[in-house]
Amino acid sequence: MTTTHPVDEILPPPKLFTLGLQHVLVMYAGAVAVPLIVGRALKLDPADVAFLISADLFVCGIATLIQSLGMTQWFGIKLPVMMGVTFAAVGPMVAMAGANPGTEGARAIFGAIIAAGVISILIAPLMSKLLRFFPPVVTGTIILVIGVSLMRIGINWIFGNPVGPTAPSIIDPAHADWLKTVTEGAVAAGLPEVPPKFAAAPTLQNPAYAPLGNVLVSAIVLVSILLIAKFGRGFVANISVLLGIVIGAVIAVTIGAMTFSKVGEAAWFGMITPFHFGTPTFEPVMIITMTLVMIVVMIESTGMFLALGDMTGKPVTQPMLSAGLRTDGLGTVIGGLFNTFPYTSFSQNVGLVGVTGIKSRFVCVAGGVILIVLGLVPKMGALVESVPTMVLGGAGLVMFGMVAATGIRILSGVDFARNRNNLFVVAVSLGFGMIPLVAPSFKQWMWHDLHPLIESGILLASIAAVVLNAFFNGAKDSIEDIKAAAATADH
């Protein structure tokens, strides 16, 4: 009599649906955050941002099915894994979006994602050899910089962006009228024309920046998340961020800051079509940038898979590991084709496997099907897009702060006492990561084609950490230590 391993056990349909929905709810807030961030950074229309959200949910489902169900011997680790967009790619994508907003920027981003995904598929079997270049001092520093870089987005969600309609200061209308009069008078009197780009400076405080009502709503969301995390139990505590956003959305509806007009206009069913924004373009520097991100992502995934293997009692073999990492690459290729982003296994769902004790991979298969269905309902994307940024801000502090805290947690296992060189690795790499945040114009005299690579603090910190660690420590760290650190990564 053959005994079915708990990982391969098929549960009754009602239980599969309930447990699959639980996995979806745990990852939902993190999954929809990335298309919201990148879509708004690209300055896309609300309808296009809503489409990005739907596309993201759809591809999350497809990638989850491939990873947990398996697709040939080459793809899918066949463990209970939920796939979602990695936050590691947000910083570089936002930098790309800032340099090339609109559909042109979207096409360049998706082209870089497709190429990076293909490269990831090819190098997946080699990742065990690359692991030694990414010990905990490197991965911890990179994840810390990712979290710190993303915090700026969460803070801007609360108070307003530093430029545009929600900038802290605006031009005094009286000054603008004076300049217009002087300009017209100079032309009429035959005086020299006003120099190009000569303009009045913003001097008035902008009432649209940091209104106390918005700050209060963000604070309520933040406090709600913290209270639910402290006093909630089990599943409720695991979805504290999502519940906090729901509470904030209810408040926003009550005060008239959120309406459902776009949700009403959206269809109940809509296909996710590839190349929605046109044919992708392939910029070499952007491809290199996204490939470096994917290497970091696959290092993290290695730890996730090994931890999950221990948790489920199904040891991860080298072929299984390669198949799982190839699926990170394949999911990323599919993401680029269907107008979305790089994919990896979500650690919160790995944690949920430990909390529930349910090891069946078919629970995640059910979760993948639910995600695909949600992606095919445009009303869901429109609903998420309608949530005001002040609501997302309170949640953003938690989500992005947790990424930074994960980096600190990994670094806590690094030996700084006996190896002081590790201090230099972290210190200098963190400094490199802060350059684009503190001095965004530092690159103005540098080769323009290099800008997409160096305007991301995450990539600067990654390169610095790898190089400095190789310089000070070589590449001799224990593979087991690396895997243990990767297992604590968060997305």
Half-sphere exposure of 480 (CA within 13 A, CB side): 0
- Residue 469: the pLDDT is 92
- Residue 118: the pLDDT is 94
Q: How many helices (H) and strands (E) does the chain have?
A: 21, 4
Please list the residues that pair with 344 across neighbouring strands: 84
- Residue 128: the pLDDT is 67
Residue of 371, 388, 444 whose CA lies nearest to 24 = 371
- Residue 357: the pLDDT is 67
Using a 10 angstrom Cβ sphere, with 0-12 exposed, 13-18 middle and 19 or more buried, the burial of residue 429 is: buried
Instruction: In whole angstroms, give the CA distance from residue 102 to residue 123.
Output: 32
pLDDT in tens, 56-82: 888 989 999 998 888 888 888 888 888
Specify the pairing of strand 343-345 against strand 83-85.
antiparallel
- Residue 300: the pLDDT is 74
| Contact status, residue 45 vs residue 399, Cβ threshold 8 Å | no
- Residue 430: the pLDDT is 93
CA Rg, the chain, in Å?
24
User: For the residues of 407-422, what is the DSSP string, one character each?
Assistant: HHHHHTTS--SS-THH
| Contact status, residue 263 vs residue 386, Cβ threshold 8 Å | yes
Q: What number of other Cβ atoms are within 10 A of residue 117's Cβ?
A: 25
Specify the pairing of strand 169-170 against strand 204-205.
antiparallel
- Residue 1: the pLDDT is 44
Q: What number of other Cβ atoms are within 10 A of residue 437's Cβ?
A: 14
Predicted TM-score (pTM) of the model is 0.73
Q: Show pLDDT as tens, one digit a residue, over the chain (491 residues).
A: 457 777 777 777 777 787 787 777 767 777 777 888 888 888 888 888 888 888 888 898 999 999 888 888 888 888 888 888 887 788 778 878 877 888 888 888 899 999 999 999 998 888 767 777 778 888 788 878 877 887 887 788 888 777 777 778 888 888 888 888 888 777 677 777 778 777 888 888 878 787 888 889 889 989 998 898 888 877 677 677 778 888 888 888 888 877 777 766 767 777 888 888 888 888 887 888 888 888 878 877 777 777 777 777 777 777 888 888 889 999 999 988 988 888 887 766 666 676 566 778 888 888 888 888 888 887 877 777 677 878 878 887 887 787 788 788 888 888 888 888 999 999 999 999 899 888 888 888 888 767 766 777 877 888 899 899 989 888 665 555 555 554 454 55
| Contact status, residue 303 vs residue 491, Cβ threshold 8 Å | no
pLDDT in tens, 70-123: 888 888 888 888 888 887 788 778 878 877 888 888 888 899 999 999 999 998
- Residue 348: the pLDDT is 65
